[in-house]
C-alpha cells in the first residue's frame, strides 16, 4: 500500500509511474476525501477544546455556587457534534483505506519501462543448452510413457489441471524439496513449516486481496483461503509487530503446497506440470532495512539461482519491465529455466522487492537507536524453487534416447544413490 501523505504530495509523479505500469490512476475522489478528512480532524480538535473550556467554566461556576446549566447543555451539544463528525471521519478513513488497497506499487527507477513480457530485459545466462541427437519429448509425454504420470486419474479424483505422480517421479519431488531446504538453510535462512490456510487479513497484507480474489480458493463458511504461495504466511509472521533493527535482515525458507484458481489462464501452459491448480514450492522470504533491500534482492536472486546451478540446469535471469510487474512489486527478477519442449526459457522463480508496500498493509515495522518512531521494513520474497517446474525441467533436460531420465548428481543422495529413472508398471 502506498503512503497516503506521499500520494497526496506527489500526485503527478505517482500517476506517471503507474502509467508506466499500464495503470491509469484517478486521484480526484481520493484527494476530495483526504481534504474532508483533514478538515474534519481540525474541526474535531477545535470542538474538543471548546467543550473542555465550557466544561471547565461550568465546573468553576458550580464550585462558587453559580451553576450555569446552559454551559453544561452547550458542552453536551458539542459532544454530540463531535460524535457525528467522528462517525463521518471513520467512514472517510475506511473509504480511503479501501481505495489505497487497490493501487499497485510504484516501480523502482531501475525497472525497464515496457508494456508486457516482450519488453523484459535479459540480465544474464548460465549453463549450456544440451544438444540432443534425437527428438526430445515434452515432460508430460515422458512421464506418461514411464508410467509415472497419471493426469486422467488426477482429473477423475479432482478435476482438470491437477497431476498425480507415481514411483520415482513422486520421490524426485520429495528429494527436491529436501535439497532446496538444505541448500537455503545452509545460507542462513530459518526453515519454517507454516499453515497452508490463511485468513483474509493475511492475504490483504501481501496484496492478494482484494484485487485477486478470483485467483484464490476460499473455504466456504470460513474467513479462510488455501494459500497461493508461502509468501502469504511468511510475510504475516510479523504482522502488527515491531522488530528491532539489530535483528534485520531476517531470512526464512518454507516448503508448502500452493493452490491457485488460475482464473483467466485457460489454454495457457495447460499440459503437464507448468500451470496447475495445486503444486509444491519452496519459498524464500527476507525482512530487511530499507537501505539494504536492493542488495538483499540480489542475494535472494542469487540464492534461487544456486539451486539451478546445483542441478546443472541452464537458465537465464530477466528484469521484468514496468508493464509485467506484479501488483505489489517495486522490482522483480524472473529466473527462467531452459525447457527443450518449449524451445525457450520458462519461468521457474520470481524474486521481488516490495519495499514498504506489503509492510504498510500488514503493519510490520522496526525500530532502533535514534528512531523517533518505528518505521516500515522492506519485504522481499522469491521461489527457491517451484518444485513441479523443476521436475519438468530435469525430465526434459536429462532425458535419454531410450526414454529414461538421468537423475542429477545433486539429488541422488536423497534418492538412495539412484542415478536413472526407468519405466514402471502401476
* C-alpha closest to that of 39 among 97, 79, 92, 98: 92
Task: Let me know if 302 is a catalytic residue.
Answer: no
Block residue for cell numbers 479462510? 224
Task: Let me know if 347 is a catalytic residue.
Answer: yes
CB neighbour class for 240 (10 Å; exposed up to 12, middle 13-18, buried from 19): exposed
Contacts of 272 (CB under 8 A, 6+ apart): 138, 139, 140, 143, 163, 392
Reported as type and span, the H/E element at residue 286 is: strand 278-288
> Three cell numbers at 260?
491457485
**CA–CA distance, 228 with 386 (Å, rounded to integer):** 12
Annotated catalytic residue, options 202, 350, 352, 383: 350
* C-alpha closest to that of 162 among 6, 38, 270, 34: 270
**CA–CA distance, 48 with 248 (Å, rounded to integer):** 42
Q: Are strands 190-192 and 420-421 parallel, antiparallel or unpaired?
A: unpaired
> Three cell numbers at 290?
530499507
Work out the end-to-end distance of the chain between its first and last CA atoms, rounded to an integer number of angstroms: 51
* C-alpha closest to that of 208 among 191, 184, 232, 242: 232
Sign of CA dihedral 387, 388, 389, 394: positive
Residue 90 phi, psi (nearest 5):
-65, -40
Task: Let me know if 167 is a catalytic residue.
Answer: no
* C-alpha closest to that of 335 among 352, 318, 359, 322: 318
Reported as type and span, the H/E element at residue 398 is: none
From the centroid of its chain, how far is CA 123? 22
Annotated catalytic residue, options 275, 289, 302, 312: 275
Annotated catalytic residue, options 21, 51, 161, 260: 260
Task: Let me know if 72 is a catalytic residue.
Answer: no
**CA–CA distance, 353 with 357 (Å, rounded to integer):** 9
**CA–CA distance, 319 with 321 (Å, rounded to integer):** 6
Task: Let me know if 350 is a catalytic residue.
Answer: yes
* Residues annotated as catalytic (active site), given as ranges: 260, 275, 347, 350, 389
Amino acid at each position: 500500500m502506498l503512503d497516503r501523505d506521499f500520494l497526496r504530495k506527489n500526485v503527478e509523479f505517482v500517476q506517471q509511474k503507474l502509467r508506466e505500469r499500464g495503470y491509469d490512476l484517478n486521484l480526484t475522489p481520493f484527494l476530495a476525501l483526504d481534504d474532508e478528512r483533514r478538515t474534519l480532524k481540525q474541526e474535531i480538535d477545535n470542538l474538543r477544546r471548546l467543550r473542555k473550556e465550557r466544561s471547565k467554566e461550568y465546573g468553576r461556576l458550580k464550585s462558587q455556587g453559580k451553576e450555569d446549566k446552559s454551559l453544561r447543555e452547550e458542552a453536551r451539544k458539542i459532544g454530540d457534534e463531535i460524535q457525528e463528525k467522528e462517525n463521518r471521519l471513520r467512514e472517510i478513513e475506511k473509504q480511503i483505506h479501501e481505495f489505497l488497497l487497490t493501487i499497485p506499487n510504484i516501480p523502482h527507477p531501475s525497472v525497464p519501462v515496457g508494456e508486457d513480457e516482450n519488453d523484459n530485459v535479459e540480465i544474464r545466462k548460465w549453463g549450456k543448452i544440451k544438444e540432443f541427437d534425437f527428438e526430445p519429448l515434452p515432460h508430460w509425454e515422458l512421464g506418461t510413457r514411464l508410467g509415472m504420470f497419471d493426469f486422467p486419474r488426477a482429473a477423475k479424483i479432482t478435476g482438470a489441471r491437477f497431476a498425480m505422480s507415481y514411483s520415482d517421479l513422486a520421490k524426485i519431488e520429495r528429494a527436491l524439496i529436501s535439497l532446496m531446504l538444505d541448500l537455503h538453510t545452509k545460507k542462513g535462512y530459518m526453515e519454517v513449516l507454516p499453515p497452508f490456510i490463511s485468513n483474509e487479513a493475511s492475504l490483504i497484507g501481501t496484496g492478494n486481496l482484494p484485487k485477486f480474489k478470483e485467483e484464490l480458493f476460499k473455504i466456504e463458511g470460513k474467513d479462510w483461503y488455501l494459500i497461493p504461495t508461502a509468501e502469504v504466511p511468511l510475510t504475516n509472521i510479523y504482522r502488527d509487530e515491531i522488530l528491532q533493527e539489530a535483528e534485520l535482515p531476517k531470512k526464512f525458507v518454507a516448503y508448502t503446497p500452493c493452490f491457485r484458481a488460475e482464473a483467466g489462464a485457460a489454454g495457457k501452459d495447460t499440459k503437464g506440470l507448468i500451470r496447475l491448480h495445486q503444486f509444491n514450492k519452496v519459498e524464500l522470504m527476507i525482512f530487511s532495512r530499507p537501505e539494504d533491500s536492493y542488495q538483499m534482492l540480489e542475494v535472494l536472486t542469487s540464492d534461487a539461482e544456486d539451486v539451478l546451478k546445483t542441478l546443472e540446469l541452464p537458465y537465464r535471469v530477466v528484469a521484468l519491465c514496468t508493464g509485467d510487474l506484479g501488483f505489489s512489486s517495486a522490482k522483480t527478477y524472473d529466473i527462467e529455466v531452459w525447457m527443450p519442449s518449449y524451445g525457450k526459457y520458462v519461468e521457474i522463480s520470481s524474486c521481488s522487492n516490495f519495499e514498504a508496500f506489503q509492510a504498510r498493509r500488514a503493519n510490520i515495522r522496526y525500530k532502533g537507536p535514534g528512531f523517533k518512531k518505528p518505521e516500515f521494513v522492506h519485504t522481499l520474497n522469491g521461489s527457491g524453487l517451484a518444485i513441479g517446474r523443476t521436475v519438468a525441467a530435469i525430465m526434459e533436460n536429462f532425458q535419454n534416447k531410450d526414454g529414461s531420465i538421468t537423475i542429477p548428481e545433486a539429488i541422488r543422495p536423497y534418492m538412495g544413490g539412484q542415478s536413472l529413472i526407468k519405466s514402471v508398471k502401476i
